[in-house]
Structure 1
Amino acid sequence: MSFGDKLPFISTLHHAPYPAIDPRKPTSSAAGKTILITGGATGIGFATARNFAVAGASTIVLLARREETLQKAASELSAAFPSTQFLTYAASITDEAEIQKVFSSVRQTARNKDVDVLVTCAAFIKVGTPLTGTSLSEVKTTFETNVLGNLIVVKAFLDTPKDEGKVIVDITSYASYMAFPQAGVYGASKAAFSYMMRHVQHEHPDLRVYTLHPGAVWTPAGADIGFTKDMFTDEEDLPAQFIVWLASQEAEFLKGKFLASHWDVTELMANKEAFESDVDLSTIGLRR
């Protein structure tokens, strides 16, 4: 199928959180788990950290490039959720040696000595230039971050004896599956990594991998490329709470799928059999 706004059996689209994805639900509990979020100090990453804390996560790891931003985020979260352990690491996801050190440190420092859920929010985005007018250095930077950098993080996450119970939620973009004017390089990089995640799911059947389009959410990255808040219709807690729900056992039947935070999870669960019987349903790729 080609991706539009929704699957054929989805009739309800959301722009704000709703009860079915409330992180306070017992079925969404993250108690005892360690969550690592790249790009976790701002935007959707920060909202995701906050909502995993609401869900009772034991340890939440924030990884971003700027130390000052990380400390501000950790201070705010620690004050609101004193029972959760917050760890911060200033590093670029493109630095393989540094990322390996981060995961090694987390596995020594986190309360459960492991990483259970990885959320890949970090990305490089620059749009507004036609594909043929984009410099090769910009193409290289985009793919180094959005493909190679994210792969470095996933490899470090999977450097563990067992995959069972582990979850990856990769944050993608509308531009990864729809032709978006003057966003060809960014869209291609996000599509490339989303397709890689399909392979990771097939190669690690005990792992749960999800690719999520977060919706139209205002973030600092949007401001950096000239977007204004009135261009965005979705609350940041919508994708954040959807991510917490994806990490729960309720969403196990959706592993390997491409999803949108707008979609109603009650309707998704009502069509569980459709997802389980069609390996290509809600995925990126060519259709016969």
Structure 2
Amino acid sequence: MGKLDGKIALVTGGSSGIGFATAQRFVAEGAAHVFITGRRQEALNEAVKKLGSKNVTAVQGDTSSLDDLDKLYSVIKKEKGHLDILFANAGGGEFAPLGSITEKHFDDIFNANAKGVLFTVQKALPIFTDGGSIILNASIVSVKANPGFSVYSATKAAVRSFARCWTVDLKERKIRVNALSPGPIDTEGLQGLGNSEEEKKGFLDAMKASTVMGRLGTPDEIAKAAVFLASDDSSYVTGIELFVDGGAAQI
């Protein structure tokens, strides 16, 4: 028996990186069906192919678009009728030091990481099972500062606050809400940060050095933590920020 047998799950931003690895783990743990989202249809098609399960449905869309979210939940309601697990994972960021932050930079990152998370969760509630599990992908930057990353960090602090507040808002429905905060993880997104190859290498070396373990984490290491928060193994865990960071924010 798997830890998620019979559960209906949604992973936003599920076509690559942490989202894809989590969808893969959810399938392996017996989820009855896993829905994944992403902005690029081609990437979604490839993800479904790699997942290799008939119990996976990809729905193209941008989580910062309320119309796209309505379409997503219409599909889930029509196909399965309800949702037991939500991993609000979609988001992203880029560097912009104070003094060079533009309105577009601010809007893009807050729309993806804060607005998108809020409405992904809120619009899920009418079909969400009482006693289900909501997991918000935050980051160690909710408590750690990095140069040029203030806007992104602010969005992840907001996500951490969402987890606390929504735990209280949803307690009557026994829905658990937790934040999962990765440290530096070896994903395409992390590998792409920086304007030159030299800058990218310097950033990755600094990220590795920031951990006690001296390495980047893997997407699957985050996925295994997401399975824990999604399953009954964490039945007495709610409102927390679970750091999976190689010690980067702990020491």
TM-score (norm 2): 0.86
Give the match for residue 76 of structure 1: 50
RMSD: 1.9
Listed as ranges, the matches of 1:88-237 within 5 Å are 88-110=58-80, 113-127=81-95, 129-160=96-127, 163-205=129-171, 206-226=174-194, 227=200, 231=208, 232-237=215-220
Q: CA deviation at 1:263?
A: 8.2
CA separation in 1, counterparts of 2:167 and 2:246?
22
Q: Is it true that 1:242 corresponds to 2:242 in the alignment?
A: no
CA-to-aligned-CA distance 1:231-270 (integer Å, 9 cap, x gap): 4521221110111011111212221111112589xxxxxx
Q: CA deviation at 1:134?
A: 1.0
Q: What is the DSSP-based 3-state SS (H/G/I as helix, E as strand, rest coil) of the residue aligned with 2:236?
A: helix
Give the match for residue 240 of structure 2: 257
Name which structure has the greater RCO, CA cutoff 8 Å, separation 6+.
1
Q: Is it true that 1:63 corresponds to 2:37 in the alignment?
A: yes
Given that 1:163 and 1:204 are in contact with CA atoms closer than 8 Å, whether structure 2 keeps it comes out as no
Aligned length: 230
CA separation in 2, counterparts of 1:174 and 1:69?
27
TM-score (norm 1): 0.75
Structure 1 runs not aligned, ≥5 long: 1-25, 265-288
Structure 2 runs not aligned, ≥5 long: 195-199, 209-214
Given that 1:169 and 1:211 are in contact with CA atoms closer than 8 Å, whether structure 2 keeps it comes out as yes
CA separation in 2, counterparts of 1:175 and 1:200?
20
CA separation in 2, counterparts of 1:166 and 1:194?
19
Given that 2:14 and 2:37 are in contact with CA atoms closer than 8 Å, whether structure 1 keeps it comes out as yes
CA separation in 2, counterparts of 1:116 and 1:263?
29
Given that 1:215 and 1:239 are in contact with CA atoms closer than 8 Å, whether structure 2 keeps it comes out as no
Give the match for residue 18 of structure 2: 44
Given that 1:131 and 1:185 are in contact with CA atoms closer than 8 Å, whether structure 2 keeps it comes out as no
CA separation in 1, counterparts of 2:142 and 2:246?
18
Q: What is the DSSP-based 3-state SS (H/G/I as helix, E as strand, rest coil) of the residue aligned with 1:213?
A: strand
CA-to-aligned-CA distance 1:46-70 (integer Å, 9 cap, x gap): 0001111110111011100000000
Given that 1:169 and 1:212 are in contact with CA atoms closer than 8 Å, whether structure 2 keeps it comes out as yes
Q: 2:57 is matched by which residue type in structure 1?
A: L
Q: CA deviation at 1:131?
A: 2.1
Q: CA deviation at 1:132?
A: 2.6
Relative to its length, the structure with more strand (as a share) is: 2
Given that 2:163 and 2:240 are in contact with CA atoms closer than 8 Å, whether structure 1 keeps it comes out as no
CA separation in 1, counterparts of 2:116 and 2:245?
27
CA separation in 2, counterparts of 1:184 and 1:262?
19
CA separation in 1, counterparts of 2:9 and 2:42?
21
* Greater Cα offset, 54-63 or 218-227: 218-227
